[in-house]
Structure 1
Amino acid sequence: MSKLPQQLNKAFFAVAALFLVSCSNTKFVPQGDYLYTGASVKIMDDSLSKTQRNTLKKELEETLTPKPNATFLGLRPKLYIYNITSEPKKEKGFKYWLKYKVGEKPVYLSDVDIPFNLDLIENTGENRGYFNISASFDTLPKNKKVKIDYNVSPRTQYVINQVTFPVDSSVLAKEINKITNKTLLKANAPFNLDVIKKERERIDVTLKENGFYYFDPNNLIIQVDSTEIKHKVNLNVKAKENTPELARHQFTIDKVYIFSDYNLRNSRRSRSLIRSGNDTILWKDNVYIIDPKEKFRPQIYDRALYFKSGDLYNRTNHNLTLSRLVNLGTFKFVKNQFVLTDSTANKFDVYYFLTPHDFKSLRLETLGKSNSASYVGGEVNLNWRHRNFLKGAELFSATLYTAIDFQIGGSKDANNIYRVGSKVSLTWPRIIAPFRFHSSSAFVPKTKVELGYEYQKRTQLYTLHNFNASFGYLWKENALKEHDLKILEVTYVTPETISDKYKADMNDPNNKSAEAQRRVVEKQLIFGPVYSYVYTNTMLPKKHTFYYKGLLDLSANLTGLISGANAENGKEKTILGVPYSQYLKTEHDFRYYLKLDDKSELATRFIGGVAYPYGNSIHMPFSKQFFVGGSNSIRAFRARTLGPGSYDPRAEENISYFYDQAGDIKLEANIEYRRKLVSFLNLGLFVDAGNVWLFNKEENRPGGVISKDFLSEIAVGAGIGFRFDFSILILRTDLAIPLRIPYYEKGERWSFNEIDFSSKQWRKDNLMLNIAIGYPF
């Protein structure tokens, strides 16, 4: 029998089994009851437009309770698991987890409160202007299952005729009348209770911006009169008669008190210090600092305090001040209090109670990792931090780290990689520059200096020293937009030793990667500005969310121009005897996430990058080139072994170790379907595609240069993965196979005909297992 009929038979039996599972749920239904399969709303009114009917139908159906048991392909497997699992004796263990976490309790007709749903329908309709709405229901039982149909007659929807606002001479009425042009209540718009609530909130927000600290949206009432004109309402916006007197007045700031070392455990003593005036220092402009131990310089509040004595209270400055104090990173608790000092003058004092973090911390981190190039390894980091290094909320951090990557199996000899390094940085909570930088963001702009060194040894090959330093600024416009500008970033790489084996390979005329290998161990000097921009709203509870990161990296552009560097014509310039790199590099990472439902989403990513060497450089420095393949890239190919272009890495079989393949141009696209299976286990189905290319032709790597046929050189891989979500970390396992191999002959690059899971050799060469922490994007 051929394979196809066998597969069809298996599929048929699988479908039949699922059908039987679905049917078998009804045998658990108690006598006299029915399995509730859901409800629908039918709008019984042809006078409404199609849009009105659909909108009302959708809204009413969303209000109905309870929701029926979840289905998958029309079946209810979670309900079946609940039904077939016997009642556990304890509220823990595998059986309890299976029944109550994986399974789902049945929803019967007896669980449905139909009168309650009818009231919900009528109340929701009235809130949307259907004041004469009525509803009835029909139950449709069949084979121990039941569906409920609700028949709704909404009749005519009422619209707004006119809106009036307070006309008295009070300060409150005058402020409300200043903003009537922005009202959400429009003539001829349908009556909508939600819009009325939003109008109250809009007025409240505006009043809070204009000194009405004690005002509340509940102090407003919007009266509805439907008697004057048929099917129309008049709305009258006014303050309630019982609105407190304080809520009717604007307030200004008198004094500002900052307790810099407030202790929650000794709050009574802390407040007594304020009241007594001991250790209270008048800093400036009615701002008082209480810091008995002089832990902080008062200047840190310059860019954090938005309230000044005499200012009219407004909610924006209230929130900005709290946010900036929190974002200094030095205080773990920040709270404030407004205390009325003179009700006749409408003034109050502001108190800020700041509880600092422990300034010093020492943390040891360990990390295990694996990649598709048959390497596993680990890393140990020792981090020391000081959150108030110069008494101005500066963050100083120092890190010592060591790491090892060693090979287990694979077709190449093991060449372990050892790394030892250190990094120190100092971050000021302000912009240090000869110009004034103004930001009204809730986030404090920062200046950062960083120094680092790494010693890298690749056994039997070479050892390198890597020095780097940078100076720049970080600032956020808001929670969604972030900028990182390094005014100057310097990298210096120099080899210490190069093994005879590596020298022989990089000087071998038959080695197609010899030139690229020589560039790995050449001295490199890179310096210039680097700018990156990030926009993301992925933290928001939206159906469509985005992430974008753009990078611009420049090296020695002005230096090369001024010195007249031209490496192609033999005019290569040096600094301290080292040729410096001159290039322009840009990279763009765009991600789009579509939430399909509460348990699944579609994640996509596109990365495009170009690195162009010119002037003093013929080739890009190896560390600045692009790479693809591996656990966070094209997962069906080993890390850094794909490309460039249609170059065939099998040509390097005479080399006994993996060599990183790099390019000057990068294109990559990924799409991944993610679904939550159970509480801690998620499924991923993915397809990855992309490659890298060179700008300049290299004789030793034929097919590597970019050409008009670059799309035909795109590699494609696909696979399945599981994500184990343990809250503190996500462990990811992805199993992928190549579907399109760019170094095959044209017309033969799709490799579907080669797929053979029964072949041990095919599995060894093509099944790529990636183990990683976190999602790939």
Structure 2
Amino acid sequence: MKNKAPLLYSILVLLVLSACSGTQHIPADDLLYTGAKIKIEGNNTSKKERKSLSEALVLLVRPQTNASFLGMRPKIFFYNLAGKPTKTKGFRYWLRNKVGEPPVLFSKVDLAYNSSLLQNYAQNNGYFNTKTVADSSRTGKKATATYTLEPRKRYYIRNVQFPQDSSAVATAVRQTIKGTFLKTGAAYSLDHIKAERERIDSRMKENGFYYFNPDYLLVQVDSTVADHQVDLIVKVKADSPPLANQQYKINKVVIYPNYSINSKASAPADSIVKYHDFTIIDSEKLFKPAIYDRTLYFKKGDFYNRTNHNLSLNRLVNLGTFKFVKNQFKVADTTGNYLDAYYYLTPLPKKSLSLQLSAKTNSANYTGTELNLNWSNRNVFKGAEQLTVSAFGGVEVQVSGQNNGFNVYRFGTEASLIWPRIMSPFRFHSASGFVPKTKATLGYEFQNRTQLYSLQTFKGSFGYLWKENERKEHLFNLTEITFASPQNVTALYQSQIAASPSLEKVIDKQLIFGPTYSYTYTNTMDKRKKNTVYYKGSLDLSGNIAGLVTAANVEKGEAVKVFNVPFSQFIKVENEFRHYLKLSENSQLASRLIAGLGFAYGNSTAMPFIKQFFNGGTNSLRAFRARSLGPGTFNGSATTNGFLPDQSGDVKLEFSTEYRAQIYGLVKGALFLDAGNIWLMKEDPDKPGSKFSKNFINEIAVGVGAGLRFDFSFLVLRTDLAFPIRKPYLAEGNRWVVDQINFGNGSWRNNNLIFNLAIGYPF
């Protein structure tokens, strides 16, 4: 029997391979279609042209074949294995329709249609008079299609001529020559001609030709002018409607701020308000007329401009006050070429109340839930100002971490007021579709860290936020104030202070005030790009003017106090850069680099704890427990067996890269590598090895891992399992621990495997 085992095994493998080939259940009068071959013949084209043409043509052939791997077609195998399910759900239905796919039969291949499609493509790209022949070949139960093309020499553009007459429409078309897609010396391309018509139309819309259309343009092709060259003649069609050939200006702008479907076309005289160039029909006087002057770009006498058209609509929507925004242009009943602009605005309810329950995770590896009660008034002073008052409460616990059991309970309230303009003595103009805003906030939070201490925090800010466009955003707070006061410090935490005096800074009263600025750039919303990026840079200045005025220098004397609390004086800079490389429709490589620096001076000897940097945990170095790593080569986890304090630093470097791919349906997987550390700017005798030095690169921690992401559309639940491969707190020369990896050893797993549960992606 032993001697027969290899034979039986070989027979079993052959049977499986045969089943995976996909031909087992093909109908007797049909064949399995295995794809198309493109052959380019003749000597009229270069090797480069033949290769480019072949690569483009093979993508046009239909239908697409079943995916194969080493000659096998596993999806057909699973389709046949499942059989025909009796229900539209269950395992068999899932296996047949989700995992498997039906075989692509040769009877579905239309050789004549594909042949015509390929020939048209060649013709449309300058290979005029191309000959195409289609054929097929059979091998067993499989069939392949072969398309043979014999293209003639390619045609190139010799000259491009735009309209020469003096009419307004011809002159406007002629003025769009700069930026044309039709370049002398370029290969003839029908797609470029179509794109050129769209480009010209877009430029015409920017210059008052509201009723113009790409279909009113004609591009004639003259192929008789020279050997394999063409002249392109751009014309405005003679039968284009008169409206399309007229350049229009804006006459009157009429606004209905309280519009509904049942609104009457006419309005009583007392409801009509004249404000600058606007006619506002608002019987209830819901809004101050000034908001339209800041929002709408069109003024009487301006040429119609599509950019201003779209920007005006975007800004009205961006006010956050209107449920529906509708716009219409009509030829004005006046002498000359004028348009009347009508804006129909349907307001959202002025006041609203909402209750929201959310799940959340934070940088300290705490997972929890929060309940928010929000009341808002969207037009509090009749200028589209938005007042929001919220109350919140929640609990956070560490699912896995060094402080499991030290839960955090939070409650508080916050009020914010947003004005849809920049409230400043200086004139501010934004030419984007996003309304610049002024925002003021005031808030209070009580946080109870069980068994440790409680913390009361008062916050306030006043500043501006504006977007240049959908990619670039600015946030500038003239001042941001934070006052933190501790309460109920427990004996356990006092004992921790005795062991590590730097922990006392966590419960010191803190007063932080000063300007902050952040700039964000992203193009990640562009799904067509293979490479997308995200960048955020921020600057935090605290107590700098106060320190300058008071000449504060804590190293030469006592710190200057405000309301009997020393104010913090520091500069903090942080930069975060992300890059996303799209590998396929369902996979990508995501990378992130963070670099930050905080420097305390003047009235402070150290950065406030809440403004320092941390790492480790669910959104950082996932192979290390939250806020347990560093600073430098210091090992904070070795100091005690009880509560482990958060480790913080003044300098941060962090890099992560993650391969993400869809596994099935809503389940996605990831493989990742994280590296980085934090350091202090000054030596701390309680934390030896924590100071940033020129040897910082030798103190980098590295971890790797894998995870699953469950994308439920309304939230992403993330699980990551990671372990360190480099530990900076070990002796130099022994920091790489790859050789110690032992998944079969329970002690190694307990000391190294870190499980992270989080909401959302890490970056």
**For the superposition of Structure 1 and Structure 2, which TM-score range results when normalised by the shorter chain?**
over 0.9
1:349 to 340, 344, 358: 340
Q: Can you list the C-alpha shifts for 1:543-562, whole angstroms capped at 9, x where unaligned?
A: 11111111111111222233
Report the Cα distance in structure 2 between the residues aligned to 1:434 and 1:428, rounded to whole angstroms.
15
- Residue 28 in 1 paired to residue 19 in 2? no
Give the 3 Å change call, closer, same or farther, for CA 369–19 of structure 1 in structure 2. farther
Amino acid at match of 2:614: F
8 Å Cα contact 2:365-2:617 kept in structure 1? no
Deviations 1:652-684 (A, max 9, x none): 225x11211111111111111111122211111
Instruction: Read off the aligned partner of 2:264 and give its amino acid letter.
Output: S
Q: Which residue of 2 aligns with 1:684?
A: 670
Q: CA deviation at 1:498?
A: 1.7
Which among 236, 241, 247 is matched to residue 244 of structure 1?
Answer: 241
Matched-pair contact (CA < 8 Å) for 1:19–1:75: no
Q: Pick from 627, 631, 634: which aligns with 1:640? A: 627
Match of 1:223 in 2: 220
Residue 63 of structure 1 aligns to a residue whose secondary structure is coil
How far is 1:165 from its partner? 2.1
Confirm or deny that 1:315 pairs with 2:301: no
Q: Distance in 2 between matches of 1:528 and 1:352?
A: 42
| 1:280 and 2:248 matched | no
Going from structure 1 to structure 2, the CA distance change for 1:612 and 1:145 (only over 3 Å counts) comes to: farther
Q: In the aligned structure 2, how far is the partner of 1:198 from the partner of 1:597?
A: 27
Q: CA 1:567–1:428 in 2, change beyond 3 Å: closer, same or farther?
A: same
2: CA distance between counterparts of 1:391 and 1:37?
Answer: 68
Where in structure 2 are the equivalents of 1:255-654 lying within 5 Å? 255-264=252-261, 266=262, 269-273=263-267, 279-285=271-277, 287-342=278-333, 345-369=336-360, 376-406=367-397, 414-506=405-497, 508=498, 511=499, 514-541=500-527, 542-654=529-641
Q: Name the CA distance, whole Å, in 2 between partners of 1:446 and 1:662.
A: 34
> Cα deviation per residue 1:331-360 (whole Å; 9 max; x = unaligned)?
121111112233762222111000111222
Normalising by the residue count of structure 1, what TM-score does the alignment of the two structures yield?
0.92
- In the superposition, relative to structure 1, how do residues 413 and 248 fare at CA in structure 2: closer, same or farther (>3 Å)? closer
Q: What SS class does the counterpart of residue 498 from structure 1 fall into?
A: coil
SS in structure 1 of the partner of residue 120 of structure 2: helix
728-737 vs 43-52, which deviates more?
Answer: 43-52
Q: Rate the CA distance shift 1:41–1:739 in 2: closer, same or farther, 3 A.
A: same
Contact map agreement 1:372 1:770 (CA 8 A) in 2: no
User: Deviation of residue 566 (structure 1)?
Assistant: 2.1
Is the CA contact (8 Å cut-off) linking 2:207 and 2:304 kept in structure 1?
A: yes
Instruction: Give 1:596 shift.
Output: 0.9
Distance 1:348 1:114 in 2: 53
Structure 1 residue 137, shift from structure 2 partner: 4.1
Aligned partners of 1:18 and 1:55: how far apart in 2?
A: 40
Amino acid at match of 1:677: I
- 1:84 has 2:81 as partner: yes
Contact map agreement 2:401 2:625 (CA 8 A) in 1: no
Deviations 1:20-53 (A, max 9, x none): 3873433233334333333343333455344433
d(CA) in 1 for partners of 2:572, 2:70 = 48
Give the residue type in structure 2 aligned to 1:759.
N
Cα deviation, residue 567, structure 1: 2.3
* d(CA) in 2 for partners of 1:438, 1:492: 34
The C-alpha deviation readout for 1:176-232, integer Å capped at 9, x for no partner, is 222334432222221111111121112211211111111101001111111232211
Question: Which of 735, 746, 765 is residue 751 of structure 2 equivalent to?
Answer: 765
Instruction: Tell me how far apart the structure 2 counterparts of residues 23 and 587 of structure 1 sit (CA, whole Å).
Output: 54
SS in 2 for 1:307: coil
Preserved CA contact (<8 Å) 2:400 2:755: no
What amino acid is aligned across from residue 539 of structure 1 in structure 2? M
The alpha-carbon deviation at position 107 of structure 1 amounts to 1.7
Residue number in structure 1 paired with 2:3: none
Q: Check conservation: 2:397, 2:404, Cα contact below 8 A.
A: no
Distance 1:127 1:81 in 2: 41
Aligned residues of 1:584 and 1:611 also touching (Cα < 8 A): yes
Q: Report the secondary structure of 1:547's partner residue.
A: strand
User: Secondary structure of 2:28's match?
Assistant: coil
Range moving further from structure 2, 182-191 or 329-338? 182-191
Query: The residue matched to 2:24 in structure 1 has which SS?
Result: helix
Q: Deviations over 1:579-622 (max 9, x none)?
A: 11111111111111111111111111111111111222221110
**Residue identity matched to 1:617:** S
What is the alpha-carbon distance in structure 2 between the residues aligned to residue 521 and residue 476 of structure 1?
38
Structure 2, gaps ≥5 residues long: 1-5
Matches within 5 A, 1:158-237: 158-237=155-234
Q: Distance in 1 between matches of 2:137 and 2:691?
A: 68
Inter-CA distance 523–74: structure 2 relative to 1 (3 Å threshold): farther
Distance 1:373 1:28, change over 3 A: farther
Kept in 2: contact 1:21–1:80 (CA 8 A): no
Task: Kindly report which structure 2 residues correspond to 1:3-42, keeping only aligned pairs within 5 A, or say none.
Answer: 20=17, 23-42=20-39
| Paired letter, 1:687 | L
- Structure 1, residues 707-735: CA drift from partner, whole Å, max 9, x if none? 22222221111221111112222211112
Q: Distance in 2 between matches of 1:43 and 1:447?
A: 64
Return the offset for 1:325.
Answer: 0.6
CA deviations 1:57-98 (Å, max 9, x no partner) are: 222222222222234677543333222112222333443233
Structure 1 unaligned spans of 5+: 1-8
CA distance in 2, matches of 1:48, 1:195: 21
Return the alpha-carbon distance in structure 1 between the equivalents of residues 84 and 485 of structure 2: 68
Range with bigger deviation, 212-221 or 144-153? 144-153
Q: Does 1:54 align with 2:51?
A: yes
Give the counterpart of 1:740 among 721, 726, 734: 726
Residue deviations 1:253-282 (CA, integer Å, cap 9, x gap):
111110001113x1xx33243xx6562222
Q: Residue 748 and residue 399 in structure 1: after superposition, are their counterparts in 2 closer, same or farther (change >3 A)? A: same
Find the aligned partners of 2:183 and 2:478 in 1 and give their Cα distance: 51
Change (3 A) 1:45 1:733: farther
State which of 131, 149, 154 in structure 2 corresponds to 1:152: 149
2:630 maps to a residue whose letter is G
TM-score where L is the length of structure 2? 0.94
Q: Distance in 2 between matches of 1:663 and 1:325?
A: 45
Q: Tell me, in whole angstroms, the C-alpha distance in 2 between the residues paired with 1:18 and 1:181.
A: 65
Separation in 1 of the partners of 2:21 and 2:635?
56
Structure 1 residue 374: deviation in Å?
7.8
- 1-side partners of 2:553 and 2:739: how far apart? 49
The 8 Å contact of residues 463 and 475 in structure 2, kept in 1 or not, is answered as yes
Q: Does the 8 Å CA contact 2:532/2:579 hold for their aligned counterparts?
A: yes
> What is residue 134 of structure 1 aligned with on the other side?
131
Structure 1 residue 143: Cα displacement: 5.4
Distance change in 2, residues 1:548/1:372 (3 Å): closer
User: Which residue in the other structure is 1:5 paired with?
Assistant: none
* 1:637–1:235 distance in 2 versus 1, CA, 3 Å: same
SS in 2 for 1:457: strand
